Amino acid sequence: MTRSERLADQLDRHWRKNLRPRLDGLTDEEYFWEPVRDCWSIRPRGTPGSGEWTMDSASPAPVPAPVTTIAWRLAHIIVSCLGYRVGWHFGGQDAETFPYAGTADEALKQLDEMYERWNAGVRGLSDIDLENPPTAGPERFPMEGIVLHVNRELIHHGAEISLLRDLYRRQDGTGPRRI
């Protein structure tokens, strides 16, 4: 197995065994569920721009950071973690004009597409590609570091989404209790 295949496999094992199965059956109600007031989410765009939906954000980001919905987290993974980098490093749609998903099904389709494109791109990298900064995009450190960063981001945010799904399912206080 090549180095790039090992890097891709690290995330792919997590993706196929842990993260992607946890997203099956995601409903629109869960997708937009706000567990507390003032959550950041994906919302209908009120002004002209790319797509019908927009992602809540602020610059600089508030401290502490707002709680975010599953919709926001998925959009962050799809566009910020994967979309930009797929476009910069492996070609494809410009993430600046990527349409945010207004439904859970649409978001999962986008996620699957971006993940597959990222995974295939990483598997195609040579050792020399991994050792050097990419020729496109603003990131100026070795590509191996970028791949490891994306792996961490997907694992981290995927775990947050999984927790939000668990909380959504148990918001009425029911569920197994162990002492």
Residue 174 belongs to a domain: no
pLDDT of residue 5: 96
Residue 27 belongs to a domain: yes
Say how far apart CA 43 and CA 83 lie, in whole Å.
19
Please report, for the domain that includes residue 73, its CATH number: 1.20.120.450
Work out how many domains the chain is built from and give that number. Answer: 1
Residue 8 belongs to a domain: yes
DSSP state, residue 53 = E
Quick: pLDDT tens for 10-61. 999 999 999 999 999 999 999 999 999 999 999 998 765 567 899 999 999 9
Residue 46 belongs to a domain: yes
Q: Is 177 exposed, middle or buried (0-12, 13-18, 19+ CB in 10 A)?
A: exposed
Are 71 and 41 contacting, i.e. CB atoms less than 8 angstroms apart? yes
Residue 179 belongs to a domain: no
Residue 117 belongs to a domain: yes
Residue 26 belongs to a domain: yes
Provide the domain limits for residue 137.
3-169
Are 161 and 71 contacting, i.e. CB atoms less than 8 angstroms apart? no
Residue 97 belongs to a domain: yes
